[in-house]
Copies of this chain bind each other. A is one copy, B any other.
Amino acid sequence: MRIVVDAMGSDDHPGPDVAGAVLAARAFGDAIVLVGDRPRIAAVLAAHDTAGLSIDVIHAAEAIGMKDSPSAAARDKRGSSMHVGLQLVRDGAADAFVSAGNTGAILAVATLRQTGLGRIPGILRPALGVVFPIESKPMLIDNGANADAKPEYLLQFGRMGSIYMARMHDIARPRVALISNGEEEGKGNALIKETIPLMIASGLNYVGNIEPKEFVRGDADVGVVDGFTGNVMMKTAEAVASYMSDTIRKYIMAGTLTKIGGVLARPAFQRVRDQLNPDEVGGAPLLGVNGVVIIAHGRSNAHAMRQAIGQARRVVERGITQAIAEGI
């Protein structure tokens, strides 16, 4: 297997991107292709022991930054590491593309056939699936690839999410739910109401509309939602988790006894942090494009990059792209 890693993606690129690629090459034995600024990549690689590993470097003259406009960058920076890397996958020279870069730009470059992979035939809109880092590890889809959605899109998001969870997590019939503002009949916005009959007729294991509480409790394997609401939902979850951690820490540090208690309880806090750590669940798969694309957090460290690369190889192994093409 050959996996392309965007060396210019993460906030601190190319350090974590290259270090993660080295970790992955050693852990999984796959060939890694690092794409980006060759001298900078070489400088980072020189500090690592790469003996016996298959790591190639392909130069890309440009890089797309977090502040770049996705559409402008997709159009104008044709020599970017994203363009070069995705074209390797398109042309069959590699099996998957992993990047911690600008999500919007990856979406834009990957979705267009001229610049990247194009869509799987029959797919109306690719979508970003994200695994919620709670115990049951359900997928929320779409997490922001499409700020505006239509009922037919949501139906396909459900199909793609169901295929992904079935194959990646060996769930026989993944429970698919629409995320809504209530479970009762008559709840939901116009989009949700129009999608319900499509879900019922879909043959999916559609379990109804659920609220965020039920989703967090693990009542579905796939939560389907438009990309705007999904992205706001995921970011709210991250913000509240982080706010609670900070607030608990502040109040624990405010008293002597509570501080001692905090020290004793530290292993428990660490377990919570580990469990909620989005790095552990890997990156977000971009489903519906004609090839494997995994988008890691911009703030990824080497370990997070390694996890995202491991996830990419598993998506390839499990034949997700082919299964989606057949399932649509």
Give the B-binding residues of A (Cβ under 8 A). 67, 69-71, 104, 134-135, 144, 147-148, 179-182, 184-190, 192, 211-213, 215-217, 225-229, 231-233, 235-245, 247-248, 251-252, 254-255, 257-258, 260-269, 271-272, 275-276
Q: Is the CB of A258 within 8 A of B264?
A: yes
Contacts of A254 in B (CB 8 A): 268
Contacts of A227 in B (CB 8 A): 181
Nearest CB of B to A45, in Å: 32
Contacts of A244 in B (CB 8 A): 240-241, 244-245, 272, 276
Q: Is the CB of A215 within 8 A of B188?
A: no
> In this complex, what residue of B is CB-closest to A216?
B239
Contacts of A242 in B (CB 8 A): 213, 216
Q: Is the CB of B267 within 8 A of A255?
A: yes
Nearest CB of B to A74, in Å: 12
* Separation of A242 and B240 alpha carbons in the complex (Å): 10
Contacts of A232 in B (CB 8 A): 179-181, 211-212, 225, 229, 232-233
Contacts of A213 in B (CB 8 A): 235, 238-239, 242
**The residue from B226, B251, B275 contacting A271, defined by CB atoms under 8 A apart:** B251
Q: Is the CB of A265 within 8 A of B272?
A: no
**The residue from B69, B192, B225, B258 contacting A185, defined by CB atoms under 8 A apart:** B69
Known: A147-B189, A244-B244, A261-B263. A212 touches B228 (CB 8 A): no
Q: Is the CB of A268 within 8 A of B248?
A: yes
Would you give 10 A-B contacts (Cβ < 8 Å), ordered by A? A181-B228, A215-B239, A237-B240, A240-B241, A244-B245, A251-B269, A257-B264, A257-B267, A261-B266, A262-B268
**The residue from B147, B186, B265 contacting A262, defined by CB atoms under 8 A apart:** B265
Q: Is the CB of A228 within 8 A of B268?
A: no
Nearest CB of B to A14, in Å: 23
Contacts of A248 in B (CB 8 A): 248, 268-269, 272
Known: A239-B213, A265-B265. A272 touches B258 (CB 8 A): no
* Separation of A260 and B34 alpha carbons in the complex (Å): 49
Nearest CB of B to A139, in Å: 15
* Separation of A212 and B239 alpha carbons in the complex (Å): 7
Known: A147-B181, A181-B227. A251 touches B272 (CB 8 A): yes
Known: A239-B216, A257-B264. A70 touches B251 (CB 8 A): no
Nearest CB of B to A53, in Å: 37
Contacts of A185 in B (CB 8 A): 69
**The residue from B186, B212, B258, B265 contacting A258, defined by CB atoms under 8 A apart:** B265
A sample of 18 more A-B contacts (CB under 8 A), given A144-B181, A147-B188, is A67-B184, A147-B192, A181-B231, A211-B235, A212-B239, A216-B236, A217-B239, A229-B229, A232-B233, A247-B272, A247-B276, A248-B269, A251-B269, A251-B272, A255-B268, A257-B264, A258-B265, A258-B268
